[in-house]
Amino acid sequence: MRRQTLLGYALILPSMAFFSAFYIYPVVYSFYLSFFTWDMLQPKRFIGLTNYRELLEAAEFREVLGNTLAYSVGVVVLAMGIGLALALLLNNRTALSSLFQACIFTSYIVSWVAVSLLWIWMLDPQYGLVNYVAGFLGVPPVDWLGNHRLALWSLVGVTVWKVIGYPMIIFLAGLQNISQDYYEAASLDGASAWHQFRYITWPLLAPTTVFLFITLTIATFQGFDIVNIMTQGGPVHATSIYVFYIYEQAFHYFRIGRASAAVIICFGLILALTYAQHRLFRRNVHYTQVG
Amino acid sequence: MRLQWIFILVLTALIGVGSALPAWAGEPITATFWYSYGGKVRQVTEDMVKKFNSSQTKYRIDGSFQGDYFQALAKIRAAITTKTAPTIFHVIGEAMPDLWQGGMFENLEPYVKSTGVKTEEFVQPLSQHGYFDYFGKSVPLFAIPFNRSMPVMYYNKDMLDAKGVKVPTSWDELRDAAAKLTVREGNDVKTWGFEVPVDWWFWHGLLYQAGGSLLSADGKKAAFRQKGGEALQYWVDMVNKQKIMKRPGGKDYNAWEVTNTDFITQKAAMIFTSTAFVNYLTENVKFKMGTAFLPKKEKFAAPTGGTFFVMIKDATPAQKEAGWAFIKWMSEPAQAIYWSQNTGYICTSEPAIKSAEMQKFYRDNPNYHVAYEQLKYAQRMPFTPALIRIQREAIQPNLEAPVIGLKTVDETMAAAEKVANDILAGK
């Protein structure tokens, strides 16, 4: 028994070592650094909570929080809504449906860098495909990434396009876990398609929905590549979202302490968000036993 | 159980042998070199590194690309912290005072003396001592000019001729010319008269043309608010009032690329960009292209830009020896000529410029010579560690807001001045 326990620990040791070195240690070290001012050249200087105070007082930081929230809500709502709609449409075992699923999922496994570069061209105000097609419909050319009111929403659109395969597949798995018996019984009782969705599909999908909601929210809070490649946070700060802001403070301005403080605030925010989501949904989630 | 242990042992042994492979006897002394060029310039750099390595057997340079200037700056700091920095790299002038103060660079004076390099033969405004205003302090030589440039005006000669427009030499003339060259079709603009990245470098030129200066005479306070505001207002009006200037989208070097593309595709008739693109633009435009000085307001003025070679203090003496051999070789007239002709960067060696080869080249390609002539109006940069922060935090992120219409020029310059003064005060 004891030997077995030891062996168990020995077996997880490599991944624990990796996890500690690349996840736990950096978070702890960031926490430490957040009390210093440091430019990676001169010696660190302890300044207590100044970094936190300056961050919370900075108008740009509040702007960044607002951008991140808008980006997150936009992506989560649209990706889940469209993902669910696609899953419902493609929830059958025909070859055509499999083909569509594969096509839609492809963009999810393509790297962010490739997707971002592709969309820079697609959205180019002069030479881009999007404005070219819109031109046929009589829409005047739009500066998707250069207009400060539009830029963030253009990024939301690209993100949804990129990740949509993920909620679709997870919803599909959720849908296929729901026993057909319920639908048969319901249609015998004369339930309409809407009623079947409202009273069978939606409640039984709840665990899937919660899972997607949490993972997508965290993923959007960690968004970085798309901003770094497509807009670098501009025009002005219109598309500066959280992780990009941290990167900018650390590696453009070399304010390592301030960047670390932002990391810790982000860590706290995601922790609180996850906890709140768990609390909120625990009461309303129906777990179903199939089979 | 036993099998597992054997597996682990073998694996450990393999890794051990792999990392402890002895260096071959008789290997050349190697130095690492980080560079930050894209496209054509990267190719030229890589060719020159190859040429150096095959021209002799004593030294070897291992070059590697590290992203654009600013990405490379971030990597170099991280590399210093983790003791994995290269032997030599090249760095933009604005970042040098901060890095020098941080103790990153090797003092190059002993190298210059022991190998007989004549620093007076560098084109002076492009050299370290010609580039900086030290405010009376004495600073040793730690940087050797390499890819040094200036902003110049490029114009589409065919378009100017078709409209009978003379090459503008003042702000007013530029505005009038841009108005004449702008072609509209309904609400669409088919050709923009003028385009320039809304960027620190060009703004800095305009600031001095307007008779302003970045810092006060003692270098302790920001002094750009009023004249810098005039410079910015000039752009803001051309973009929003007269609608004859295009603001290229994208931040940092993305906007530069957009500007070049618009010029090549004849979407813009006149642009400001670096002389470093002379070669690239000459090869890609399908019209007669001319270059000229940046127009004046009170006076002609333009900053110099680009980078210098520097050496990392932490490198070993052997690495430094190899690194210096490469820097010295690169600054020799033959290489300076090759580099300049193939890129458009200003030739940094006076003997090279006076050579028959270069003189003939300038006669055949007058566009390459304009920046060199403009050097007589080059401005110095203040030698203060705050310089790079003022550029990156106070000026660059603020310039766009009034052009987009988010803030007034006054608000922007007041905010930039406050940030700059905070930085100068060490905050």
Query: pLDDT tens across B234-282, in order?
Result: 999 999 999 999 988 776 677 898 899 999 999 999 999 999 899 899 9
Class of domain B29-149+305-364: alpha beta
Task: Share the mean pLDDT of chain B.
Answer: 90
> Contact B397/A231, CB-based, under 8 Å?
no
The answer to whether B187 contacts A140, with C-beta atoms less than 8 Å apart, is yes
Q: How far apart are CA B92 and CA B39, in angstroms?
A: 18
Nearest to A235 among B78, B392, B400 (CB): B400
CB contact under 8 A, B98 and A253: no
Convert the pLDDT of each residue in B371-413 to its tens digit: 999 999 999 999 999 999 999 999 998 899 999 888 999 999 9
Burial letters A153-167, b for 16+ CB under 10 A, else e = bbbbbbbbbbbbbbb
Strand partners, B191: B183
Spatial separation of the C-alpha atoms in residues A68 and A243, rounded to whole Å: 9
Residues B105 and B111 sit within 8 Å (Cβ to Cβ): no
Position A207 scores a pLDDT of 87
Q: How many CB pairs under 8 A join A and B?
A: 60
Q: How confident is the model at residue B22 (pLDDT cuts 50, 70, 90)?
A: very low
Q: Is the pLDDT of residue A289 over 50?
A: no
Task: Please state, in angstroms and rounded to a whole number, the distance separating the CA atoms of residues A128 and A158.
Answer: 14
A59 at the B interface (CB within 8 A)? no
> Does A14 lie at the interface with B, CB-CB under 8 angstroms?
no
Cβ-nearest to B77 among A140, A235, A254: A254
- 8 A C-beta contact, residue A107 and residue A116: no
pLDDT digits (tens, 9 = 90+) for B163-175: 999 999 999 999 9
**Three-class SS of residue A74?**
helix
Highest mean pLDDT among A5-9, A137-141, B125-129: B125-129
**Percent of chain B scored above 90 by pLDDT?**
77
CA angle A167, A173, A179 (to 5 degrees): 135
For B184-238, what is each residue's pLDDT tens digit? 987 788 999 999 999 999 999 999 999 999 999 999 999 999 999 999 999 999 9
Q: Report which of residues B381 and B18 the model is more confident about.
A: B381
Q: What is the pLDDT of residue A291?
A: 40
**β-strands B183-185, B289-292 pairing:** unpaired
Are the C-beta atoms of B168 and B257 separated by less than 8 Å? Answer: no
The residues, any chain, with a CB within 8 Å of residue B380's CB and separated by 6 or more, are B130, B131, B132, B133
Four-CA torsion A55, A245, B104, B45, nearest 10 degrees:
-160
Give B-chain residues touching A141 at CB under 8 angstroms: 188
B29-149+305-364 and B151-302+385-424 agree in CATH topology: yes
Rounded distance between C-alpha atoms, residue A172 and residue A87, angstroms: 5
Residue B225 has which token pair? 């608010």
Q: Determine the residue type at B16.
A: G
Q: Chain B, 401-420: which have a CB under 8 Å from a chain A CB?
A: 401, 404, 406
> What is the per-residue pLDDT for A62?
93
Q: What pLDDT shows up at residue B16?
A: 52
Provide the 8-state DSSP code for A40: S
Kindly report, residue by residue over A226-245, the tens digit of the pLDDT: 999 998 887 888 999 999 99
Question: What ipTM score was computed for the predicted complex, to two decimals?
Answer: 0.79
Alpha-carbon span A164 to A90, nearest angstrom: 14
Q: Give the CATH number of domain B151-302+385-424.
A: 3.40.190.10
Lowest-confidence segment of A17-26, B243-252, B283-292 by average pLDDT:
B243-252
Q: Is the peptide bond before A235 cis (omega within 30 degrees of 0)?
A: yes
Q: Which of A92-96, B182-186, B326-330, B419-423 has the lowest mean pLDDT?
A: A92-96
Q: How far is A238 from chain B (nearest CA, A)?
A: 10
- Interhelix angle for B317-331 vs B39-55, to 10°? 110
Q: Where are the domains of chain B?
A: 29-149+305-364, 151-302+385-424
Query: What distance in Å separates the CA atoms of residue A122 and residue A134, rounded to the nearest whole number?
Result: 12
Q: Is residue B324 exposed (0-12), middle (13-18) or buried (19+ Cβ within 10 Å)?
A: buried
pLDDT at B24: 47
- How far is CA B307 from each of CA A65, A192, B35, B139, B350, rounded to the nearest angstrom? 36, 71, 10, 18, 18
DSSP strand pairing (B188-195 vs B245-246): parallel
Going from the N-terminus, what domains does chain A have, and what CATH number goes with each? Answer: 47-282 (1.10.3720.10)
